[in-house]
Amino acid sequence: MRHFILLSILTLFVFLNATGQSIREYKKPEFVKNWSKPGKHPDHIVLNFSDDPSSSISVTWRTNNLIKQGYGEIALSLADPRFISKATTHKASTQLLKFDNVVQVGSRPKDKIKFDNLNSHHHSVTFKDLIPNTMYAYRVGDGKIWSEWIQFKTASDKADPFSFLYVGDAQNYIMELWSRLIREGYKKAPEASFIIHAGDLINNAHSEHEWHEWYIAGGWIHRSLPSLSIPGNHEYMPFVQKDIDEGIKRLSVQWNYNFTLPNNGPKGIEETVYYVDYQGVRFIALNSNIMIDEQTIWLEEVLKSNPHKWTIVTYHHPLYSASRGRDNVELRSKWKPLFDKYKVDLALQGHDHAYTRGRVDPDPENIVSGQNTRDLTGTVYVVSVSGGKMYSLKEGWEQYDALRDRTGEYMQLFQVISLDGNKLSYQAYTAVGDLYDSFDLIKNESGLNSFIEKKYESY
């Protein structure tokens, strides 16, 4: 454990040194007092899917507690700016988030962080009965104070081609370094339909300051591209002093206030476990922190009832870790048999702060070696990191009877994944836009995939 703590502290220095520049002491930015406090103007605006993406969208935002009621307005977006005259107004659901007496352990057990005077109202609207594959514009506010008009497009109700972004842990140096990564991702894939965040969006679960960094770093991207987010281990920390005394960790107090995600998961872990069907793909979000047995039962039902050609899962703790000493035996023993049985195509993971991608054949007697450029394959597993904290790669998958095809370390990465009929195309890019990894999966009539590894940059 000490190894990883030291790495997290020294990561940025090592990263800068790796570029060949001279080492100097890094000066962390300072923030003015009350920088993250909410005001009357809407902020922390984020889009989510919470129902059928072809006919609905949800938006959530924050104000101070002086704003007692929120509203969302929506209209078909047209070139003619007079489209706003046809907007409809929808009353928001408003909840008070109280920070009084919230205390959590910081990055070191002896560190305690106290949060007070940050009470805020969080507002949520779900726009329904929308037209598929159509551009809309929306704004949110209290009826007088409004956000800008923000555009988004509903999903098609057919299995049409689309692409999306996937990022691993943002977690550290969020505004400093994650901002460039997520913005480069949008520049590389401006037509992406949404973003998957594979856990550890922030470092200290209940820190409103860090959540504010996450929203500022993503800016209007969060407002325009829906987020499919799952919690990592850093979204689970003690909440009040009694939790610290008893060693109890709880989900980030902000999580269910920040997001309006589907409520189709197991009871007790709503909006952290769910599934979304999008243009011929079933996306399944899992919570690798708690209630694994309950999720395993739910997962089999969701996989069994999947009517779509493609299946993509995301969760935080990798079934096949990128670094030694981080093996997740329980998850692998309970979830991998289901991935194999129901032919899950792609598993998008985080946690290990390095890059690893490989294929594990469902038949344990016929492990895919990665030596062939074209071969039948089972689930493709990916571990990636998008923030500034890095871990060194060590032997990992080999000790679990699995082999890796591509690895990397000390790089912020984002992934662009596209689906078109029987083809899934995957590309991983660095924060400066260089292609680092690439492959295609071709769906066969049997439901298995042919794997085609493509050219990528050499590092």
In a domain, 287, yes or no: yes
pTM attached to this predicted model? 0.91
Are 231 and 255 contacting, i.e. CB atoms less than 8 angstroms apart?
Answer: yes
Highest average pLDDT, of 26-40, 238-252, 307-321, 399-413, comes from: 307-321
For residues 43-56, give the mean pLDDT.
Answer: 97
In a domain, 240, yes or no: yes
pLDDT of residue 235: 96
- Spell out the alpha helix ranges (H) of 165-234: 179-188, 208-218, 220-224
Q: Tell how strand 355-359 and strand 380-383 pair up.
A: antiparallel
What confidence tier does 84 reach under pLDDT thresholds 50, 70, 90? very high
Are 314 and 287 contacting, i.e. CB atoms less than 8 angstroms apart?
Answer: no
Which segment of 28-32, 80-84, 132-136 scores lowest on mean pLDDT? 28-32
What confidence tier does 117 reach under pLDDT thresholds 50, 70, 90? low
In a domain, 50, yes or no: no
Assess whether pLDDT exceeds 60 at residue 371: no
In a domain, 226, yes or no: yes
Domain coverage including residue 328:
160-453
What confidence tier does 394 reach under pLDDT thresholds 50, 70, 90? confident
pLDDT (tens digit per residue) in 338-352 = 999 999 999 999 999
Assess whether pLDDT exceeds 50 at residue 359: yes
pLDDT of residue 109: 47
Among 215, 206, 213, 264, which Cα is nearest to 46's? 215
Which segment of 13-22, 63-72, 84-93, 111-120 scores lowest on mean pLDDT? 13-22
Percent of the chain with pLDDT over 90: 69
Name the more confident of 113 and 440: 440
The C-alpha atoms of residue 231 and residue 347 are separated, in whole angstroms, by: 16
Count: domains in the chain: 1
CA distances from 213 to 31, 113, 232, 262, 323 (A): 11, 17, 17, 25, 28
Are 366 and 378 contacting, i.e. CB atoms less than 8 angstroms apart?
Answer: no
In a domain, 448, yes or no: yes
Indicate which CATH number applies to the domain containing 402: 3.60.21.10
In a domain, 311, yes or no: yes
Are 250 and 236 contacting, i.e. CB atoms less than 8 angstroms apart?
Answer: yes
pLDDT of residue 143: 96
pLDDT of residue 18: 47
Token readout for 239 is: 């909440």
Which segment of 10-19, 49-58, 133-142, 221-230 scores lowest on mean pLDDT? 10-19
Q: Provide the strand spans (E) within 234-316.
A: 236-237, 250-251, 274-278, 281-285, 310-314
As a whole number of Å, the CA-based R_g of the chain is: 22
Assess whether pLDDT exceeds 60 at residue 136: yes
Are 94 and 123 contacting, i.e. CB atoms less than 8 angstroms apart?
Answer: yes
pLDDT (tens digit per residue) in 87-111 = 999 999 999 998 766 766 554 445 5
Are 65 and 119 contacting, i.e. CB atoms less than 8 angstroms apart?
Answer: yes
